[in-house]
């Protein structure tokens, strides 16, 4: 199976997984409210909360994966990041200098880098972005269990490694897709991600996103 078809399969599976949690909560709450009117007062707030989470997550996935998004300001990036799954995550954009909006490709890469950073903090923690929205942005993560996914740094060092990972016999699954996907998005957009070795923790050195398109 070729890489685009396999990547489409993995993306579809991953989207179903990421949306199923809040969707199931929403449907369950509505079912309870429908079957037991006396429980509706407790069930409907749960349904409302789940619908908000579902909407936020869908907006994030569409902006990060669907393509075609235009320039985004920092506050738009922050609003979309509200759709990140997981708890105990803090996104710090206070050191991000953005005199101009991120270009469409740059915004998409930044969103995927934030999603990757969230996965790299399974126990919660802080994702900090700093730098310049038109040139370079540094992504740092800090948390008790912080660590980039296995193989991710290799995807950055070898242009073919990320593509090989999503092939049928590759290492990527829907659960581990975000690493190779982020690397592939950078390559396809003419952007670059590098690792700042020797800074930060060994398991999670900062990432540098080069947002100037290479010809």
Domain boundaries, the chain: 3-210
- Identify the CATH class of 3-210: alpha beta
SS (H, E, C) the chain: CCHHHHHHHHHHHHHHHHHHHHHHHHHHHHHHHHHCHHHHHHHHHHHHHHHHHHHHHHHHHHHHHHCCCCCECHHHHHHHHHHCCCCCEEEEEEEEECCCCECHHHHHHHHHHHHHHHHCCCCCEEEEEEEECCCEEEEEEECCCCCCCCCHHHHHHCHHHHHHHHCCCCCCCCCCCHHHHHHHHHHHHCCEEEECCCCCCCCCCCEEEECCCCC
pLDDT at 58 over 80: yes
* Least confident piece of the model among 8-22, 89-103, 132-146, 176-190: 89-103
What is the C-alpha separation between 79 and 109, in angstroms, rounded? 16
Average pLDDT over residues 25-33: 94
Whole-prediction pTM value? 0.92
pLDDT at 86 over 80: no
4 vs 106, higher pLDDT: 106
Average pLDDT over residues 61-90: 90
pLDDT at 55 over 90: yes
pLDDT at 14 over 70: yes
């Amino acid at each position: 199976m070729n890489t685009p078809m396999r990547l489409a399969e993995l993306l579809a599976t991953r989207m179903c997984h990421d949306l199923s949690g809040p969707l199931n909560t929403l449907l369950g709450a509505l079912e309870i409210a429908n079957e037991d009117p006396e429980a509706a007062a407790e069930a409907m707030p749960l349904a409302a909360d789940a619908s908000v989470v579902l909407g936020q997550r869908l907006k994030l996935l569409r902006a990060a994966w669907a393509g075609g998004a235009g320039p985004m300001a920092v506050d738009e990036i922050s609003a979309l990041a509200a759709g990140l799954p997981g708890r105990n995550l803090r996104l710090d954009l206070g050191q991000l200098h953005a005199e101009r909006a991120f270009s469409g490709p740059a915004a998409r890469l930044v969103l995927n880098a934030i999603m990757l950073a969230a996965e790299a903090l399974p126990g919660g923690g802080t994702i900090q972005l700093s730098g310049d929205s038109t040139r370079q942005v540094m992504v740092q993560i800090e948390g008790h269990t912080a660590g980039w996914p296995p193989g991710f740094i290799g995807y950055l060092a070898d242009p073919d490694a990320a593509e090989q990972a999503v092939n049928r016999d590759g290492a990527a699954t829907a659960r581990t897709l975000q690493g190779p996907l982020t690397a592939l998005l950078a390559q396809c957009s003419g952007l670059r991600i590098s690792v700042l070795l020797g800074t930060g923790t060994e398991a999670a050195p900062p990432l540098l996103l080069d947002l100037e398109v290479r010809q």
